[in-house]
Chains A and B, each alone.
Chain A
Amino acid sequence: MDKKNFTFELLDKYTPDKVIENFLAQIKEATQGYVIGNIIPYDGPIQSYKKNNGLNVVTMTFKETMVDIQEKLGEQDDEKHRYEVFLTVEGLEHYKYRMMFVDYGAIAYPVTIVMNEALSEEYCGKRIDTFLIESMGELETMMETVINSKTMMVLIQNLINEFLRKKYQKAHSIQLDEN
């Protein structure tokens, strides 16, 4: 056995949730804390496979290669890590924009990402929303694309505007009360 056959440099240093958390921090910073990216454990169902808007015959072929998240990861190990990634907005107490679900087992990579369709269209140009991400590097590339996508930019600006509008309305109503 030759030691040259092995590498001792850890490439995937961080688990998917940590990688995503780091990217989400950029949203908070860029929006002065008005819009916040969250990643929290999720215990609900997520889609295991997804439609393809191509022809029927393509769909059938595609379905055969689909991954059933629950079964596949269940076979590997009972350990499951499932997260929900979403945006919240300061001043809009209950608003929640779901960006994606993250799902992995005892081994952090590959990780399955089930993404919001608008984001996935921008990420891959297709209406496929389930991705098997092989490495931390690939996940970083994905997150970089997603958080800087046009959909996110427009959405975040709308949310900032909504926050400012609420803030203005509140300040205006207080002023009227005082008068």
Chain B
Amino acid sequence: MTLHRNTTINSYLLSLVEDYDIDILVIAEYQGCESELCKLLQRSKQKLKKNNTFGCERLNVWSNYYDIEPNVQGTYHSIQVIKKKLVLCCVHLFSDLHGDYRDDRLDEIEQIMNDINKIESKIESKKTIIIGDFNEMPYDKGCLSAKGFHGLPALRLDDKPTRTVRKKAYRKFYNPMWNLMGDFHYPPGTYFLNKAQLYAPMWYMLDQVIISKDIIPLFKKDSLNILTKCSYSDLMDLQGRPDKSISDHFPIICEIIDKGEL
């Protein structure tokens, strides 16, 4: 979840962790009292501990996994490897708030994908989850381009693992967030902004999870949700948009089945 520098956020976080049985919590822009959150989460029923993200100031990762090792820490991403098999790449990319940075983000994402590929080769696994505040829509360049995360709206296990463009094969990823766009489910996105621009969707799906093909059998589709409340408080304002006094983004949640072997 993206907190947008809220310093009084800990009660909401604790409530979310306990209400939704969170095993891994990824936070962007955390500005609260970390030592207090440490105590609260360690004493919670989920017993989350802070993971090593030293060097990546934009992200915090908390989990109750014992076997979780920090890997590459960059400006915009923090990679953790769980049980020596699962690559968890947490991202908080830069936004378009002050201009159009789609190309810049694609560049950054290429670099992140290069890190992921190298780690996967080293640990001999193709199980990767990319999660966080991408600061762009699922259909934007960084998320959809084959040179970026290549997060397709549909990917089945029996589909070809790559897509070839001008004789070069690009590995496919699955982005389930496409399914949550629009008003068939509420809310239509994780972020709301009424820009004074002609071309603007108003609701944005900036917070996303993108998974590799090997994670698909472990991914519980119906678990993917945008959270608008916790037992401590509603997270939305009277208009049904993210309550900015808490966070300007709604958090997302998903479940990956872990039967021990991942």
Which residues of A are at the interface with B, using a C-beta cutoff of 8 A?
44-56, 59-60, 87, 92-98, 116-118, 129, 155, 158-159, 162
Which of the candidate stretches B19-27, B66-74, B161-169, B219-227 sits at the interface with the other chain?
Answer: B66-74
Instruction: Give min CB distance, B140 to chain A, whole Å.
Output: 15
Within 8 A of A (CB), among B52-84: 52, 54-55, 57, 69-76, 81
Q: Are A45 and B111 in contact (CB under 8 A)?
A: yes
Which residues of B are at the interface with A, using a C-beta cutoff of 8 A?
52, 54-55, 57, 69-76, 81, 94, 98-99, 101, 103-104, 107-108, 110-111, 114-115, 118-119
Instruction: Give min CB distance, B51 to chain A, whole Å.
Output: 11
Given A59-B98, A94-B81: A46 in contact with B111 (beta carbons within 8 A): yes
- In-complex Cβ contact of A162 among B54, B76, B94, B98 (8 A): B54
Q: Which residues of A contact B54 (CB under 8 A)?
A: 95, 97, 155, 158-159, 162
Q: Which residues of A contact B70 (CB under 8 A)?
A: 92, 94-95
Q: Which residues of B contact A159 (CB under 8 A)?
A: 54
Q: Which residues of B contact A92 (CB under 8 A)?
A: 52, 69-70
Q: Are B107 and A48 in contact (CB under 8 A)?
A: yes
Q: Are B52 and A118 in contact (CB under 8 A)?
A: no
Instruction: Give min CB distance, B262 to chain A, whole Å.
Output: 17
Q: Are B98 and A94 in contact (CB under 8 A)?
A: no
Q: Which residues of B contact A158 (CB under 8 A)?
A: 54
Q: In the complex the two chains form, what is the Cα distance from A151 to B171 in whole Å?
A: 36
Given A44-B114, A47-B111, A118-B57: A94 in contact with B71 (beta carbons within 8 A): yes
Q: Are A50 and B104 in contact (CB under 8 A)?
A: yes
The contact sample of 6 A-B pairs, CB cut-off 8 A, is A45-B111, A45-B114, A47-B111, A94-B69, A94-B70, A95-B54
Instruction: Give min CB distance, A71 to chain B, whole Å.
Output: 14
Given A96-B73, A98-B74, A116-B74: A45 in contact with B98 (beta carbons within 8 A): no
Q: In the complex the two chains form, what is the Cα distance from A142 to B206 in whole Å?
A: 35
Q: Which residues of B contact A93 (CB under 8 A)?
A: 69
Q: Which residues of A contact B73 (CB under 8 A)?
A: 95-98
Q: Which residues of B contact A59 (CB under 8 A)?
A: 98-99
Q: Are B98 and A55 in contact (CB under 8 A)?
A: yes
Q: In the complex the two chains form, what is the Cα distance from A177 to B104 in whole Å?
A: 52
- In-complex Cβ contact of B107 among A47, A52, A96, A155 (8 A): A47
